[in-house]
A and B are shown apart, each in its own frame.
Chain A
């Protein structure tokens, strides 16, 4: 491959935008895969996807970030699917059960609200311990605030499956927050 930059396809994003968005995408990828090296690869592949002729991103700035977050989550889901195929323990595509079990909640516990930044670090840590599918769904729907249809399509799961995973993941994190508030 020639190194001459003039032979590269035109970059649809300016450098300043890439520099501004990269740390946020790196953090999202890191939360999703919990591996700094892999996160960097996924972010790079996400930016590169803008150069693909099939790229459909909108030029307005706010859109670029959510567009890229969607592409990134798709790449993360692909990564987990590939990993599962290799290990042949595949359950990423397995349909989740219904919502029949009760959620754990004890209304008699005395809560002492903690400040927002402490709550964030508690939840960030609890998020990293969630099962992969639940973690990705919570990241897409709650952290990145994608709508459910968009999140399900990025992750390659049904909306019914997403709904169950979101319910479970959120209640798991709620419990972690309550545990922290009890101390």
Chain B
């Protein structure tokens, strides 16, 4: 079984499916067995999902509501 640090190094590639099939399977297996790595994987995937959503996020004209709390 892969060690956690080996999984960590490949996780970014894993999210893109950019690894050989055998590595993809080995990481999947590790994620089923490990108590630490699944949370890391979920967190990284959520980060990538948010980044992807930023491409087509509607553009609001005018000020950022975050900077506009006085209104």
Contact = CB atoms under 8 A, between A and B. Distances in A.
Of B9, B12, B46, chain A has the most CB atoms within 10 Å of the CB of: B12
A166 interface: yes
A2 to B, nearest CB: 35
A81 B5 CA distance: 34
B44 A119 contact: no
A27 B59 CA distance: 9
B51 interface: yes
A152 B53 CA distance: 22
A170 B48 contact: yes
A167 B54 contact: no
Nearest to B40: A105
Contacts of A124: 54
A177 B53 contact: no
Contacts of B48: 142, 170
B39 A171 contact: no
A155 to B, nearest CB: 16
Chain A's interface size range is 20 to 34
Contacts of B46: 119, 174, 177
A148 B50 contact: no
B57 interface: yes
Nearest to B64: A121
B40 to A, nearest CB: 5
Interface of A: 23-24, 27, 99-100, 102-103, 105, 107, 111, 116, 119-121, 123-124, 127, 138, 141-145, 148, 163, 166-167, 170-171, 173-174, 177-178
Interface of B: 5, 8-9, 11-13, 15-16, 18, 35-36, 39-40, 43-44, 46-48, 50-57, 59, 66
A142 B51 CA distance: 6
A170 B54 contact: no
16 contacts: A102-B5, A103-B40, A107-B36, A121-B66, A123-B47, A127-B51, A143-B51, A144-B55, A148-B16, A163-B13, A166-B12, A167-B9, A170-B15, A170-B44, A170-B48, A174-B47
Nearest to A173: B47
Contacts of A105: 8, 36, 39-40, 43
A111 to B, nearest CB: 8
Nearest to A125: B66
A143 B48 CA distance: 8
